[in-house]
Each structure stands twice: as C-alpha cells, then as structure tokens.
Amino acid sequence: MIIQRVVLNSRPGKNGVPVAENFRLEQSTIADTVQEGQVRVKTLYLSVDPYMRCRMNEDTGSDYLQPWQLSEVADGGGIGVVEESKHHNLAKGDFVTSFTWPWQTAAILEGDLLQKLAPQLVNGRLSYFLGAAGITGLTALLGVREKGHVAAGANQTMVVSGAAGACGSLAGQIGRLEGCSRVVGIAGTDEKCSILVQEMGFDAAINYKKGDVAKQLRELCPGGVDVYFDNVGGDISDTVISQMNQNSHIILCGQISQYNKDVPYPPPLPPDTEKIQKERNITRERFLVLNYMDKQEASVLQLCQWIQEGKLKVRETVVEGLANIGAAFQSMMNGGNIGKQIVSVSK
C-alpha cells in the first residue's frame, strides 16, 4: 500500500533555529496484510509540540526522549481510525491514539500500544485528545496539582508564561478552577493577551514585547506571585521569580526560550535569580507528566467534564495536510500559533 510520510531531512544543530526544510515529505509503502495483534489505521490528526525540538538533535539531552533519525519517519502524538484489525479489542471504525504515532498518512501498528477513544467525551472534537483532553491537558492539570500547591481560599496569585500556548492557556484556567484568586498571563502579542482575558478568563495579560514587564507585573500582582507556571525560561522567568513570595512554587513545565541552546535541562538559573530562589525557599523541581500516569484516567475524565461544562475553553491552530507539518513546526517554535498546534492529515 502506497502512503506519504514525513522524515527528518536535516538537523538544525544544537543551537540552530528549526525550519520547515528540516523535514521532508516522501512516498513510501506499508504491508498489504495485517498480522495478528496489529491494526491498519488511517491518520486523522498529528500533534506538533515544543518538546520535539529536542528530538531533532542527535542527543536529546533527556533520558526519556529518543532522537529522531535522519531520513527516518518522525513520530509523536497522533489520532487515527482503524481500517482493518486483527486485535481482539479493536474493530474497524474505532478511533485510537498513541504518543508514538508515525507522521504518515496510514500505518500498521501494534494494537496493544493504542488507546481507544470515546469521541462523546469531547463533544466529538477528536483533536482535543491531543490537546486539552490529552497529554497537554494532563501536563497542565497535574502540574498545577502536583507542583503548584494551589489551595482554594488561600488567595493565591498565579502567573503563566507562554500563556497563549497549548499548555499555558489551559494551565491558567485550571489554576483558577483549582482555587487561585488571580491569574495573570504573559504572551507575545496584543491579540493573544486579549484572548486570554476575554475568552479564557485570565484577570490580566502582559505583552512581553511591549513595555516594562517587571513594572507591569508589580502593578498586576501587588501581593506578589505565589505560583508560577513556567513554559519559557530565560529572561521572562527571571523577572517573574524576582517577584515571587516566600515559600512559593514554580511549576517547571517547559523552557522553550532555551530549546535552541546547548544547555542542560532544566537550564540553570543565573546566580542572582538562584539566590532569590534559595532565600525565599521557592520550589523549582523538574516536572514530567509521564511520572503520574497512574492518575491519567481520572485526570482525563476531569478535563473532559470541564470541557463539556464549558469551564475549560480550548483553542487550536489547525494546519491542513501532512505536507505542511514542517511549516507548522516552524511556526509553533516562532510563537506564531494560539493554543494547540494540530495537523489535520485526512478526513
């Protein structure tokens, strides 16, 4: 069977900025027959995520991420529909997902490695299982619950960097749902800031490309910062940390400003910022959602309930066509999208 697939065409280099040309669309084939325990699937949606930048290097810098190999098919979160099955628990027409879905139009996969999806849980919006009701939503929810130490009635202020991104836009809303009394986002355009406040219920948002971020933070968080959901690292994070309270908490989710630099993860803080962290007893621990998979089922159900009730607003940037996945990746790394970046492969 003839298919199309996307392979890693070249590496941007440890300190390089990824471009669409780092990926290549090519024609390939898969077997015409399915073996026992396998299914043939048609790909519907693929997820494009910041962590994938690390997989473009020969060494990902992480013990849980494997690098993509040159001229080999890339992979990540994906959703598809079963077209043929020889697996006891999967039938033709079932919708399934995997964290290691190959970037190709169709594939033969081991059924045991797939999770069956129930579209009614997300009002039929299957792509949400890659975002708000998937690993992104889990990261936001479990990050807040496991590392944020949010307590209802404690009058806590949360700041979220990368707040218009896939995880940040959910984390701020979840912080509010879990009990934060004030939520402030940091994003890169006036449009993103407006969406955060008007659509997603943030109290305020700062365009870090305009004005004095430290001054705006002081004005918008007069009682200091109790919880910081950190998606970006770098100068923005140093500014937020300087205004954090005693015994406050950093949820170390991502460091996208550092992903094109050859530094360890998590990147070390500058000496002045590290001094503040230690003096104020601010927690800053590496957070990996895969360490909390025992809480996955209950957490996904909670996310789906909030979506159905309209309490969790979801934004997606959807790019049509497998051929455009490289451009989608480049746009995401440049901060060009709002919410989750999804590639729609076939309908």
List helix spans (H) across 36-114. 52-55
How far is the C-alpha of 235 from the C-alpha of 93, rounded, in Å?
A: 48
- Collapsed DSSP state (helix, strand, coil) of residue 248: strand
* Distance, CA of 111 to CA of 109 (rounded, Å): 6
| Nearby residues of 278 by Cβ (< 8 Å), 6 or more positions away | none
Could you tell me whether strands 95-102 and 115-116 are parallel, antiparallel, or unpaired per DSSP bridges?
antiparallel
Is the per-residue pLDDT at 3 higher than 70? yes
Split at pLDDT 50, 70, 90, the class of 265 is: low
CATH 2.30.29.30 applies to domain 135-290: no
- Residue 293's pLDDT is 87
Q: What is the pLDDT of residue 254?
A: 76
pTM summary value: 0.90
Dist. CA 224–CA 179, nearest whole Å: 17
Residue 205 pLDDT > 50: yes
Confidence at residue 255, expressed as pLDDT on a 0 to 100 scale: 67
Could you tell me the CATH superfamily of domain 2-131+315-344?
A: Medium-chain alcohol dehydrogenases, catalytic domain (3.90.180.10)
Q: Is the pLDDT of residue 260 over 50?
A: no
Give the confidence band of 243 by pLDDT, cuts at 50, 70, 90.
very high
3-class DSSP state of 86? coil
Q: What is Dmax (Cα atoms) for the chain?
A: 64
Q: Tell me the pLDDT band of 162, cut-offs 50, 70 and 90.
A: very high
Say which residues have a Cβ less than 8 Å from residue 171's Cβ, sequence separation at least 6.
Answer: 140, 143, 144, 160, 163, 229, 231, 251, 253
Please state, in angstroms and rounded to a whole number, the distance separating the CA atoms of residues 263 and 257: 11
pLDDT of residue 13: 87
pLDDT tens digits, 95-124: 999 999 999 999 999 999 999 999 999 999
Percent of the chain with pLDDT over 90: 83
List the single range of 8-22, 73-87, 168-182, 190-204 with lowest mean pLDDT: 8-22
317-347 pLDDT, tens digit per residue, is 999 999 999 999 998 888 777 889 999 997 5
Cα 11 to Cα 76, 105, 208, 332: the distances in Å are 17, 23, 30, 17
Domain with CATH 3.90.180.10 in the chain: 2-131+315-344
Query: Which tokens go with 266?
Result: 């998590």
Measure CA 59 to chain center: 21
Using alpha carbons, select from 280, 287, 212, 270 the residue that is nearest to residue 243: 280
Q: Which of 32-41, 230-239, 269-278, 283-292 bottoms out in mean pLDDT, i.e. has the lowest?
A: 283-292
pLDDT of 15 reads 80
How many separate helices (H) and strands (E) can be counted in the chain?
9, 15
**Amino acid residing at 82:** V
Considering the chain, tell me which residue range(s) the CATH 3.40.50.720 domain(s) occupy: 135-290
Q: Tell me: the pLDDT tens digits for 31-51?
A: 999 999 999 999 999 999 988
Q: Rounded to whole angstroms, how far apart are CA atoms 299 and 319?
A: 28
Residues with Cβ within 8 Å of 174's Cβ and at least 6 positions away in sequence, in order, are 140, 141, 144, 312
pLDDT at 259: 44
